[in-house]
Amino acid sequence: MSGTHSHTVAFVRDTMLPEQAPPASEVGAIGWARHNLFSSWFNAILTIASLAAIYFVLAAIVPWILSPTWDGTSLSNCRETLAAAGHGDAHGACWGVIKERWIQLIFGFYPSHLYWRPIAAFVLLGVALAPVLFSDRVPSKLLIFSLLYPFIFPWLLWGGTIWMPIAAMAGFVIGGLVYKFASQALSTLLGVILGAAAAVIWWMVLAAPVSGALESILPIGIEAVESRKFGGFMLSVTIGVVAIACSLPIGIVLALGRQSDLMIVKYICVGFIEFIRGVPLITLLFVASTLLNIFMPPGTNFDIILRVLIMVTLFASAYMAEVIRGGLAALPRGQYEGADSLGLDYWQAQRLIIMPQALKISIPGIVSTFIGVFKDTTLVSIIGLLDPLGLSNAIRADANWNGIVWELYGFIALLFFVFCFSMSRYSMYLERKLQTGHR
């Protein structure tokens, strides 16, 4: 067949044509736009609508932001500056308030010569978290620092004698030692109970006088700062960090309780978790501000920030319990069976096999719980604490800045956004990393 045709066809190309460049409408910016922006009439409409929306938003905001008022000393001063600079209708931000108050918005009323302490505390927080979060790149010996850090953090922030955190730490040591000996001599369960009891007795009865006595013998300490001085962004971060750190152990206990076969223990844990998760945080803060003192022994009095810390910790621990329960549920059944087959008892299995894995899986969940709690700390402004939002009201009560709205809200929103956004990105990165590790 082909032979007959070969005679009738006048010309047969025997060389390859060079590749032609694709049409101009398919490459470069135009091609990209055609594929990604105008692939159908519906997409074209969407694109044009989006462009219009972007234009209107930017046209409204950008001139407002670019306002030459960084040196404004009061709102009226800003208005004069704006009028002089020719901003029509005094439309522009008054950035003077941020320049004057940004330190207050970040540190609250913390004594200015001690600013290094909160900064150091939060930098060291990163160091303490590094071995947990970047376990592949950081030597695991740093874990010792991570264990010490929960005692360094409050000492740096609140100050006072160094013996108090040491005494608090001694409680754990005593509890651990009692557990070790009691569990060898008696049973593991008795060991746990006795260890916990010993630690509680130490903290409740002995810790304060012992640290007081040590302080009178060897006074080492840094200037004490009352929690009333905490404010602004630092207060939000402190509440968030403390609540998450304290809620972790409580959350683990609650999660184990909820998973347990013991009916009463299970119902107590379920009841607590569902109660806390069923009510809004603001009602718990009302409890902190109005009721907690009534629930405590007569005459007990701790300041409002400690009370808020307690309630936010309880709040966070219910959510933390659910996160950790998720981590426990995600562990393959074989891990539990493997632990059983090795003859480990319940606590050994939890400590050596289950918890390390479950916690690792839960880290992204813990981070997002932290973001949630951190954002929720703005609620404390409703009960009169001076977090950034509360401070913005106090600043507006200053005759100079009376009537300022957007600048303060914008600045606060920016601070929260930067913080939460970077953490959520990090959590996503972790999630990806953990996924490849396990599946």
Partner 1 sequence: MKKSVILGAMAFAGLAAGAASAGTLDDVKARGKLNCGVTVGLVGFAAPNANGEWEGFDVAVCRAVAAAVLGDSTAVEFVPTTGKTRFTALASGEIDMLARNTTWTFSRDVDLKFEFAGVNYYDGQGFMVPKELGVSSAKELDGATVCIQTGTTTELNLADFFRSNNISYEPVPIETNAEAQQQYLAGACDVYTTDASGLAATRATFDDPGAHVLLPEIISKEPLGPLVRHGDNEWGDVVRWTLNALVAAEELGITSANLSEMSAGTENPEINRLLGSEGTLGEMLGLDAAWAQNAIASQGNYGEIFAKNIGEDTPVGLARGLNAQWTEGGLLYAPPFR
Partner 2 sequence: MSTLTDPPKEQFRLSMLLYDTRYRSATIQVIAMLGFMLLAAWLIDNTLSNLAAQDKAIDFGFFTESAGYDINQRLLEYTSRDSHLRAALMGLLNTLVVAVLGCITATILGVIIGVLRLSSNWLVARLMTIYVELFRNVPVLLWIVFVMAILIETLPAPRAFRGENPEATMSLADSVAVTNRGVYIPEPLFSRTLGDVHVFGEAALRFDVSLDLIAILAVLGLSLWGAHRVTLRANRIQEATGVRPKTWHVRTGIIVLPMLVLLIGLGFHLGYPALKGFNFQGGTHLRNSLIALWLALSLYTAAFIAEIVRAGIMAISKGQTEAAEALGLRSNRIMSLVVLPQALRVIIPPLISNYLNLTKNSSLAIAVGYMDITGTLGGITMNQTGRELECVLLLMLVYLAISLTISGVMNWYNEAVKLKER
Chain residues that interact with partner 1, rule: CB under 8 A: 76, 79, 100-101, 104, 108-109, 150-151, 153-154, 164-165, 167-169, 171-172, 200, 203-205, 207-208, 226, 228, 231, 242, 245-246, 249-250, 286, 289-290, 293-294, 296-304, 306, 309-310, 313, 382-386, 390, 393-399, 402-403, 405
One character per residue 104-143, x = contact with partner 2 (rule: CB under 8 A): ----------------------------------------
In the complex, the smallest distance separating the C-beta of residue 434 from partner 2, rounded to whole angstroms, is 16
Question: CB–CB of 353/338 below 8 Å?
Answer: yes
Q: How far is the CB of 224 from partner 1 (least distance, A)?
A: 12
Residue 21, burial from CB neighbour count under 10 angstroms (0-12, 13-18, 19+): exposed
Closest CB to partner 1 among residues 156, 339: 156
CB of 290 to partner 2, least distance (A): 4
Residue 10 is a binding residue for partner 2 (CB under 8 A): no
Which member of 176, 219, 280, 437 binds partner 2 (CB under 8 A)?
A: 280
Quote the CA–CA distance of 98 and 104 in Å, as a whole number: 9
Q: Under the criterion CB under 8 A, does residue 189 sit at the interface with partner 2?
A: yes
Residue with tokens 């509890």: 175
Q: How far is the CB of 376 from partner 2 (least distance, A)?
A: 7
- Residue choice 142, 166, 193, 394 for contact with partner 2 (CB under 8 A): 193
Of 147, 262, 330, 342, the one binding partner 2 by CB under 8 A:
262
**Which of 158, 315, 401, 416 forms a contact with partner 2 (CB under 8 A)?**
416
Q: Please give the size of the binding site for partner 2, defined by CB under 8 A.
A: 59
Q: Please, which residue, 40 or 436, has the CB nearer to partner 2?
A: 40
- Is residue 243 near partner 2 by the rule CB under 8 A? no
List 10, 294, 397, 399, residue binding partner 2 (CB under 8 A): 294
Residue 50 binds which of partner 2, partner 1, none (CB < 5-8 A, kind-dependent) = partner 2
In the complex, the smallest distance separating the C-beta of residue 123 from partner 2, rounded to whole angstroms, is 22
The reply on whether position 424 binds partner 2 by CB under 8 A is: yes
Q: Does 402 bind partner 2 (CB under 8 A)?
A: no
CB-count burial class (<10 Å; 0-12, 13-18, 19+) for 301: exposed
Site string for partner 2, 296-335 (x = CB under 8 A): xxx-------------------------------------
Tell me which of 25, 26, 28, 43 binds partner 2, using CB under 8 A: 43
Picking from 372, 414, 424, 363, the residue whose alpha carbon sits closest to that of residue 392 is 414
Q: Kindly tell me which of 66 and 186 has the beta carbon lying closer to partner 2.
A: 186
- Binding residue for partner 2, selected from 279, 330, 342, 352, defined by CB under 8 A: 279
Structure tokens at 271: 């009841």
The residues with which 222 forms a beta bridge, in sequence order, are 160
Round to whole Å and give the CA distance between 124 and 149: 8
Question: Of partner 2, partner 1, none, which one sits near residue 24, judging by CB under 5 to 8 A according to partner kind?
Answer: none
Footprint on this chain of partner 2 (rule: CB under 8 A): 36-37, 39, 43, 46-47, 50-51, 53-54, 186-187, 189-190, 193, 261-265, 268, 274-275, 277-283, 286-287, 290-291, 293-298, 371, 375-379, 381-382, 389, 405-406, 409, 412-413, 416-417, 420-421, 424
